[in-house]
Structures are given as C-alpha cells and as structure tokens.
Amino acid sequence: MLRSSNDRLGIPQPTSQASGVLSPTAPTSHRSSILPPSSIRTPSRLQQPKSSSSSSPIPAAAVTATPTAPSTSIPGFRKISVSTPKAPTPLGLTTSVPQEDTSQVSPPSSISTTTTTTSTAATPVSTSGSAAAATTTTPTPTPGKTENVTVTVRIRPFSNSELKVAGGVTQVWEVNDGSNIVYNDDYAVNTRKAAVDYAYDHALTGSDNELIYNTSVKNLVQSAMEGYNGTVFAYGQTSSGKTYTMSGTETQPGITPRAVEDVFKYIRENSEREFLLRVSYMEIYNESIRDLLSPEAIDLRIHEDKRRGVYVSPLKEEIVTTPIQVMRIIERGDYQRHVSSTDFNAHSSRSHSIFQITVESRERSSAMSGSPTAWKPAGAKSASAVRVSQLNLIDLAGSEKASSDVERRKEGAFINKSLLTLGTVISKLTEEKGAHIPYRDSKLTRILQSSLNGSARVSVISTISPSYLNVEESNNTLKFAARVKKVVTRAQTNQVMDDKALLEKYRREISELKAQLMLTAEATARAPASGVNGSGVELDKAKQAELSRLLEKERLKHEEEMGEMNMVRNALKERIEHLTKLILTSSSINTKPADQPALAAGAQVAPSSITGGRGGTTVVETSADGTVLEFPKEIESRLAQKDTIVRQLQSELETQQEKFQMMRTVLERASRGEAVDLDKTLAKLEEIRPQEKFLIEKRASIMGLNTLVQSSSSGSLDGLAKMSCSGSGERLGMGENNEEDDLDLMDTPWNRSELQSLRQAKRELEIVVIDQEKKIEDLIALSSSYSRSTTPTPPQPPTAFEDSDEFRNLVLELEEQREHILSMDEEREGYKAALIEMRNRMRRMEMENQQLKASAQAKTNGSSNGLSNGSHETALSASELAAKIKDLDATAQKERRLRLEDQQRSMGRIASLEAELTMLKAEMSVRDLAGY
Ligand SMILES: Nc1ncnc2c1ncn2[C@@H]1O[C@H](COP(=O)(O)OP(=O)(O)OP(=O)(O)O)[C@@H](O)[C@H]1O
C-alpha cells in the first residue's frame, strides 16, 4: 500500500493515562529515567550542568507526560507539562521540565549515586554529546583522520497501545549521563536482572527533534557541505520512532527537513563558494530498489566505480534551488513509499528509504570570471576543482516479530533479513580484521557499503521503546548500536576536475553561451540599415518603382533576419539565466523569495513556489558508467508517449481514409443516377461520427501530454488536473507550452534532432488530420442534404457543400436524366398514338374495300343483264378501283402477318405456361404421393 505523506507524518500520539507515581522505594539515581506517565516532572537533565562524575549528586531525568497538566501541546502528541521549579516534593523531586521535554530530574538531595553497572559497551565512548553541547558545532573532520561512527539512542515516550496493555507501562530503560542506557532500577530489582550499561555518544528521551538533530546530525550536514560524504540512518524495531525521528511532524520537523534547511543556510552563509544541489529518493522494498521520484522505475541496479564508489542507476536526480522545492520532492517520494498498517504500527514503513542530496561546490573566485577563456583544461590542477559530496538520509524499515498478515510477514522476512545482514556486516567490520565483509548479501548493505567501509561520516540513530513489552527487541537494538559504535571511518573530501561535475559543466556552458550572445550582438550591430536610398541619384519613375520594390523586399528580409537573431539571443539569454539560477551562491539564495521558515515535514507547499527558472525542475540521471546525463528519463518517456499517439493517429487516419473512399464511391454512383441504398449510406456515414470524438480525444491527450510534462517539470499535480480538461478547443498538439517545454528538454544535443523530427512529424500529421476532418465534415453535410431530399423535413439552411460546383453539377446531371426519360416517354406515347391511328385507318380501309367490291360486283351484274340504270354514283374507273383494292390488300396482308406473329408469340407463351403448369402439377402429385 502506498501512503500519503500526510499519513506518514504527524501520526497523533495518544494522550496517556495518568497512572502510578514513582515508588517511594525506587532508588533514585542520577540517570534520566523514563517513568510512567503520571510521574512528577522535574527540570530536564538536558538543562542541567553536565556532570563529570557518576557519583556526583546530579539530578536524574525521567520521561513523563500527563494529559491534565497545563501544557505546551504539540498537536497530535501527549500534552507535556511545563511548570516552574518547585520545592522538593515528599519524594524529593522537583516538578519543572522545559517545554516539550519529557525528562524528569531528581533534585540533588534525593539522588543516590547510581549503582555501578556492568558496562556492555565494547568501546570507550565519548560523552561529548550531552545536551548542553548539542547546539555547539564540533569541528569538521580532518581529512584522512579516523573517527568512530556517531551513535545516538533515542527512547520514545510510551505509546497508547503500550499504556493499554498489562505490563506495558513497566519501564525498562533509563538514560544515564546523557550518553548511557541502563536498566531502570525498579525493573532491575523486580526482574533481578543484572545491570547493563550501554554507552553511546548520546542517549536521549522525549519528542524534541531539534535536540536530536543538533546533537547528532548538524555537524555531519555541515561537513557534507564542506565536501565529506555523510550518512545518517535510523535503526530500530518497528514502531520505535524511526520515521518520527527522520521525517518528524508538522510541529516537530525531523532530521531530514532540518538538514535541508541547514544545507541552504550553509550556502547563504558561505559567500566564497558556489553550489549546485541535486536530490534523489529511492526505497528498497522486498529486496528490489525503486526510484520514488520515478515510480515506474523499479528494480534499479547497483553499480560501483572508483570515482563514485557504489551507486544506483538509472536514478532520477532533480536539481534543486530552494528548501521548499526539496520538501516538495520528498513529499512526492513519500507518497510513493510502501507503508502499511501492521499489528504494531498503523503506518509502518515497509521499505528502507534513502534520500540523497549531492552537493557540488567550488570557489567563486575561479568560477565567476565569466570569461570563456578562463577555463582550464579538464584535469588541470586549479582552484576551479569541484568538491562533490553526498548526504544520505536513511529511514530503515523496522525489525519486527511475525505478523498476522501474510503479505506483511513476507515483507517482514525481507526487512529482517536485510537488517540481519546489516548486523553481520557491522560485526565483521568491527570484529574480524581483514575478513570478508558480506556487503553483497543485501541491497541495503551494498548501498551503504561506501559509507560503512570508511569514506563517509556516519551517524546512527537507534530508536527503542521504553516498555517492558519490547524489552527483547530493544536489547537487540542496543547491542546493534553498541557494535556500530565501534566502526571506524576515515572521511575525506572528493575533488572532481572534469565535466563529470555538473557545476563545472554548467559554468563552461554559461561561458560558451555568453560568448555566443556577444557574437549575435555584434552581428546585430553590423547589420546594415535598410530601406534607405542614400545615393541621391535622380532616377526615372520606372526605375524608382523597381528600386523601391527591391528595397522593400530587402527590408522585409532584413526584418526577418533580425527577428530570428533576436529569437536566438533570447534563447541564449534564457538558457544562461536558467543555468545561472541552478548555481547557488550566498547572494542568489539570499535574494530568493524561498527564504522560508523552518520546514515542517508534510507542510503544505504551494506548487508554484517550487518552480525555478522557466518553471521547470531540472532532472539529471547517472548512467551505469557514472556519467551524469541531463533529462534522459523525461525525454524517453515523453518520446514514447508521443510515439504512441502518433501511431494511434496514423492507424486511425488510414481507417478514416478507407471509409472516406467508400463514401465517395457511393455518392458518385448516386450522382450517375444509379440506384443506391440511401439508408445504408447514411448509416455508414453515421459510423464516421464517433471518429470525430477520437480526434478530439487525441487532441486532448496531446494537450494533456504537454501539460503533464509541464506539471512533472514543475512537480505539481495541478498539471494533471489541467490535462483532464484541456484540449477540445485547440488544434491538435498546437499548445504553446509544447514547444517551450521542448526547448527546456532540448538542452542536450543528443535528443535535439529527435525532438525536432518528432515535432515535424507531428505537424505533418496535424495537417493530415485537419484535412481529414474537413472531408468528414463535407461528407456529413452531403449525407444530410441527401436525407433532406428524401424525407419531408422542414427546409434546412444550405450547407457549404450545397453551394459547391460539385453539388450543382450533380443536380444538373440528374435534371438532364429526368428530362431525357420524359422525352422518351413522350416519344413512346407518340408511337403508341400513331399505331392506334394506323389500325383505325386500316379498319376503315377494309370496310371501304368491301363496299367497293360489293359495288363492282353490282355493276358487273347490271351490264351483263343489259340493265344499265345509267347511274354514275361512282366516278371511279375500274382500273383505279383495282389499284386501290390492290393497295388495301397489301396493307391488310401486312396487318394480318403482324397479327399472326403476335398470335404465334402468344401461343408460344401459352404453350410454355401450360408446360410449366403441367410440370408443377406433376410435382404436386409426386409430393402428394410422397405424403408431404
Ligand atoms: N520521540 C517520539 N515522541 C513522540 N512520539 C513518537 C516518538 N517516536 C515515535 N513516536 C510515535 O510513535 C509511533 C510510531 O513511530 P514511527 O512510525 O516513527 O515508528 P517507526 O520506527 O518508523 O516504525 P516502522 O518501522 O513500523 O515504520 C508514531 O505514532 C509516532 O508519532
């Protein structure tokens, strides 16, 4: 489970129950003693003058808290009583503690000297870490001089669950002399335990994180700023207070935010050097290394080289310029860290987390010359050598007993194994000279190898519970801490002379850019004034016109060139400004608005306040060979995202084109007057509509991508919100930010051409997409015009396509077709009428013919009978009649032939129908027979 940083921080400590008082029989001692909550508070031992001898009558301290006393409260924590010193109580105790301190101190009168204990400390330890000395600065190490690891044990107050359980409030441990841990006398007496005395550099109680920071870490941070590697880690059983110590709460910022603050404070106060800071954050979860700033990067590898020692790669590093920016990054990383609720801790860290600050610094005198010629060749011995050091702040996962949950048990097994290996490595380092040290047995020891084997200053904070319930685990932690105390280191500074240091690289780049800027300035100055005809020569009108045309052309060209030149100059200036901002000096840091107050872990940070320069976080990454590269992960993931979108768009466009072609064919057929199924066509056109949605989505996703890059570079989450609502109104990928971000990312030459070609491809694609969109719109308009013509819908306003020539031609063509069909119809009707007329004429002629025949017959009969009635009713001569009859006969014959043919055709058709009928009848009878 991943948790939010707020979950991780400020987990409220329950209010303790008031119960019990110091037993009158309890031996008083000059130890700090952790007492049950109701114990009377006395002035903190931490404010007492430090005792030089255990036998001297100095007060003892006891941790306590009551919920009822007037107090200065730390939200989420037990209320701590604050009272003024009083007269001794019947128990001989005074009741005064400093604010937020939970130590209880016995007055001198009541103190019996501490019973002598058997010390389990293997080495004599310094007691320099008393609270009184806490805020003083110990000298930075002498290069090459050996020193022991600084070990601090911190006993936290009782937790709520401990207070609730029987025996939970039995206090086992006490702090003695500010540096030793011994058994509480009551506990020792009641359990008849042999006394123990673990000796460390510092032993602390209470909740004051400033105290522990000043006591155990402050010096180490200072020496990290001076070029020495430093490692701080919190070690202890689960729920013993490691995260509380390292991260802290809003009211009690832990070691990490305080260290960050001090890093910037150091830069502010050291004007003779300039600095470049970069940070990374990783976790080891189930023996796999994960980049908390780039969570998709899992299972990172560990490498080693002579120059850098052991390091993890590829690990994202961000260049930082303000404390608040660093806190924001930590918050981001914390959000990704594996945290779960366990049987012992509601917010238990299930991984070891390692936060690294890499500090590069160099004397300003050599760096600030600003002249491009001031650079010495790489490797040259000069004051420009860059010091590189690393500060590791590590919150280990807690050792734990078996958990009831399977997943937690598995995690616990990994945690315990790596902590066991850490213990073994420490043992071997201290006990067996020249023995094989099994650093490689766990990722944790491998990463800590450089620190443990000598070259770093190391401070270990061991956290324990005060309760009897955890006595066994606390004993193990104390033994581990005692062993670590024996580890000897020999810190030394690292000097880098070449471009491997980013500081050197950036300074060189700034110089080169400044030189380029000067060149462009000179070029601008040299540029001729344009548009002036200063010859004073009289020219004729035509020549003058020609000349002014040429001059105008020349002037435009010149303006264009000047515009380009200015763009280059601005880009150079911006880059110089950007790089300069990354390099921190006391003056630059003092002028920064980010002079924030002490940072509380989990404090809300405005996203805008973390952006520096042009609003982008600068990301670097160390390659496997130890070279520091700029931005590769950002570039890679961005290119990959863009590639995917380009591929998607291309395939979508191909589909679109196919459909478009299909539609076109249908429309062409329709325009030719061929039958087309309009409904089907319209349905197909409808299918195209969802693709519009796709294009809009793609546009939005490209816009979102730009926003994402912007947000990732600014470290803010609001970019993601912007992403979700961006897009619809803008053209594909044409967001302004895109190019700007690309410029930011184009800082390295290796990706420049790739980005450019990608941008070019994107632009080409945009044109295709826009073209496609236009065509689709046309098609949709056309389809609706067709549907309007086929359905009686109210008239629509004409679309653009209806006004087009193509549409007009189609309509004309259709009209012509229609007219043609009409004229054909008319013609056919005419033929029909002519035919009928012919038939009528034929009939009339036949009748006439018959009449003529009859009269001719009558004439013939009359002449032969000698009868001549002298009638001249007919004026036709016999020959004329014969001709007419012949004519009519021919027509009648023709008609007969035609009728005969018709009759024959009909007979044929009837015959074939009859045959068919017979067949069908036969089939029917066969079916009947078959019993269907
Ligand atoms: N010195 C302290 N003063 C007040 N409260 C403390 C102190 N140390 C720890 N606590 C509280 O005790 C609880 C457990 O502490 P924390 O989460 O820091 O333990 P942890 O050692 O990091 O545990 P884990 O290994 O499971 O992550 C938290 O609620 C924390 O606020």
- Asked whether the predicted pLDDT for residue 353 surpasses 60, the reply is yes
Mean pLDDT of the chain: 66
- Asked whether the predicted pLDDT for residue 637 surpasses 50, the reply is yes
The reported pLDDT for the residue numbered 248 is 93
φ, ψ dihedrals at 742, nearest 5°: -60, -40
The CB of 8 under 6 Å from ligand 1? The reply is no
- Asked whether the predicted pLDDT for residue 854 surpasses 70, the reply is yes
The reported pLDDT for the residue numbered 282 is 93
- Asked whether the predicted pLDDT for residue 532 surpasses 50, the reply is no
Task: Measure the CA–CA gap between 72 and 69, rounded to whole angstroms.
Answer: 9
Max mean pLDDT among 115-124, 202-211, 395-404, 532-541 falls in 202-211
The CB of 375 under 6 Å from ligand 1? The reply is no
**Does residue 74 or residue 437 have the better pLDDT?**
437
The pLDDT of 383-388, averaged and rounded, is 75
Atom of ligand 1 nearest to the CA of 344: 26
410-419, 572-581, 587-596: the lowest-pLDDT one: 587-596
The reported pLDDT for the residue numbered 314 is 84
Would you list the DSSP string of 555-576? HHHHHHHHHHHHHHHHHHHHHH
**pLDDT band with cut points at 50, 70 and 90 for residue 220:** very high
Ligand 1 centroid from CA 153, angstroms: 14
- Asked whether the predicted pLDDT for residue 574 surpasses 60, the reply is yes
Pairing status of strand 229-236 against strand 118-119: unpaired
Scored b (16 or more CB within 10 A) or e, 385-406 reads bbbbbbbbbbbbbbbbeebeee
Q: Residue 318 in contact with residue 386, Cβ under 8 Å? A: no
The CB of 207 under 6 Å from ligand 1? The reply is yes
The reported pLDDT for the residue numbered 430 is 78
Task: Measure the CA–CA gap between 802 and 788, rounded to whole angstroms.
Answer: 12
Ligand 1 centroid from CA 332, angstroms: 21
The reported pLDDT for the residue numbered 64 is 31
The CB of 242 under 6 Å from ligand 1? The reply is yes
The reported pLDDT for the residue numbered 720 is 30
The reported pLDDT for the residue numbered 560 is 76
- Whether 421 has a binding-site annotation, put simply, is no
**Does residue 696 or residue 74 have the better pLDDT?**
696
Ligand 1 centroid from CA 16, angstroms: 15
The CB of 349 under 6 Å from ligand 1? The reply is yes
72-86, 274-288, 867-881: the lowest-pLDDT one: 72-86
The reported pLDDT for the residue numbered 477 is 92
404-408, 552-556, 610-614: the lowest-pLDDT one: 610-614
Ligand 1 centroid from CA 206, angstroms: 12
pLDDT tens, residue by residue, 448-504:
887 787 778 899 999 999 998 888 889 989 998 998 898 888 777 776 655 567 777
The pLDDT of 727-749, averaged and rounded, is 37
Ligand 1 centroid from CA 177, angstroms: 24
Q: Is 340 helix (H, G, I), strand (E, B) or coil?
A: strand
**pLDDT band with cut points at 50, 70 and 90 for residue 606:** very low
The reported pLDDT for the residue numbered 280 is 93
Ligand 1 centroid from CA 483, angstroms: 23
The CB of 335 under 6 Å from ligand 1? The reply is no
Q: Residue whose CA is closest, atom 31 of ligand 1?
A: 11
Q: Residue whose CA is closest, atom 12 of ligand 1?
A: 241
pLDDT tens, residue by residue, 858-867:
777 765 554 4
- Looking from the CA of 200 toward its CB, the CA atoms found within 13 Å total 31
**pLDDT band with cut points at 50, 70 and 90 for residue 511:** confident
Q: Which residues pair with 356 in a beta bridge?
A: 280, 392
Atom of ligand 1 nearest to the CA of 236: 21
Task: Measure the CA–CA gap between 853 and 559, rounded to whole angstroms.
Answer: 112
Q: Which residue intervals of 746-875 are DSSP H helices? A: 749-790, 805-864
Task: Measure the CA–CA gap between 276 and 358, rounded to whole angstroms.
Answer: 8
**pLDDT band with cut points at 50, 70 and 90 for residue 154:** very high
The CB of 229 under 6 Å from ligand 1? The reply is no
Task: Measure the CA–CA gap between 51 and 769, rounded to whole angstroms.
Answer: 82
Max mean pLDDT among 14-18, 321-325, 558-562 falls in 321-325
- Asked whether the predicted pLDDT for residue 229 surpasses 70, the reply is yes
- Asked whether the predicted pLDDT for residue 886 surpasses 50, the reply is yes
The pLDDT of 211-238, averaged and rounded, is 93
* Percentage of residues in the chain having pLDDT higher than 90: 14
pLDDT tens, residue by residue, 643-698:
566 566 666 666 666 666 666 777 677 667 777 666 666 666 566 554 555 556 65
pLDDT tens, residue by residue, 309-348:
788 888 888 889 899 989 999 999 988 888 777 766 667 7
**pLDDT band with cut points at 50, 70 and 90 for residue 87:** very low
The CB of 244 under 6 Å from ligand 1? The reply is yes
How close are the terminal C-alpha atoms of the chain, in Å? Answer: 74
The reported pLDDT for the residue numbered 620 is 63
**pLDDT band with cut points at 50, 70 and 90 for residue 773:** low
- Whether 661 has a binding-site annotation, put simply, is no
The pLDDT of 21-27, averaged and rounded, is 30
**pLDDT band with cut points at 50, 70 and 90 for residue 140:** low
Substitution site in 209, 235, 250, 345 for ligand 1 pocket (most atoms within 8 Å of beta carbon) = 345
The reported pLDDT for the residue numbered 173 is 92
The reported pLDDT for the residue numbered 54 is 32
Atom of ligand 1 nearest to the CA of 10: 31
Ligand 1 centroid from CA 241, angstroms: 3
Ligand 1 centroid from CA 838, angstroms: 120
Q: Residue whose CA is closest, atom 14 of ligand 1?
A: 239
- Whether 236 has a binding-site annotation, put simply, is yes
The CB of 238 under 6 Å from ligand 1? The reply is yes
**Does residue 209 or residue 594 have the better pLDDT?**
209
Eight-state DSSP code of residue 393? E
Sequence-distant (≥ 6) Cβ neighbours of residue 907 within 8 angstroms: none
The pLDDT of 56-72, averaged and rounded, is 30
The reported pLDDT for the residue numbered 305 is 80
- Looking from the CA of 217 toward its CB, the CA atoms found within 13 Å total 28
**pLDDT band with cut points at 50, 70 and 90 for residue 202:** very high
Max mean pLDDT among 54-63, 99-108, 241-250 falls in 241-250
The reported pLDDT for the residue numbered 133 is 34
Q: Domain 8-131+149-367+387-496: give its CATH architecture.
A: 3-Layer(aba) Sandwich (3.40)
The encoded tokens of residue 364 equal 């300003």
Q: Residue ranges of the domains in the chain?
A: 8-131+149-367+387-496, 630-801, 806-858+877-930
The CB of 397 under 6 Å from ligand 1? The reply is yes
**Does residue 422 or residue 168 have the better pLDDT?**
422
Ligand 1 centroid from CA 246, angstroms: 10
The reported pLDDT for the residue numbered 749 is 41
Sequence-distant (≥ 6) Cβ neighbours of residue 42 within 8 angstroms: 59, 61, 62, 93, 94, 95, 96, 97, 103, 104, 105, 106, 107
pLDDT tens, residue by residue, 753-769:
555 556 666 666 666 66
The residue type of 683 is A
175-179, 699-703, 739-743: the lowest-pLDDT one: 739-743
**Does residue 402 or residue 927 have the better pLDDT?**
927
The reported pLDDT for the residue numbered 89 is 28
* Percentage of residues in the chain having pLDDT higher than 70: 51
Q: Residue 888 in contact with residue 846, Cβ under 8 Å? A: yes
- Whether 242 has a binding-site annotation, put simply, is yes
Q: Is 299 left (phi over 0), alpha (psi -120 to 50) or beta?
A: left
Residue of 309, 317, 386 whose CA lies nearest to 354 = 317
Ligand 1 centroid from CA 462, angstroms: 12
- Whether 240 has a binding-site annotation, put simply, is yes
The CB of 465 under 6 Å from ligand 1? The reply is no
- Whether 239 has a binding-site annotation, put simply, is yes
The reported pLDDT for the residue numbered 506 is 75
The pLDDT of 45-60, averaged and rounded, is 30
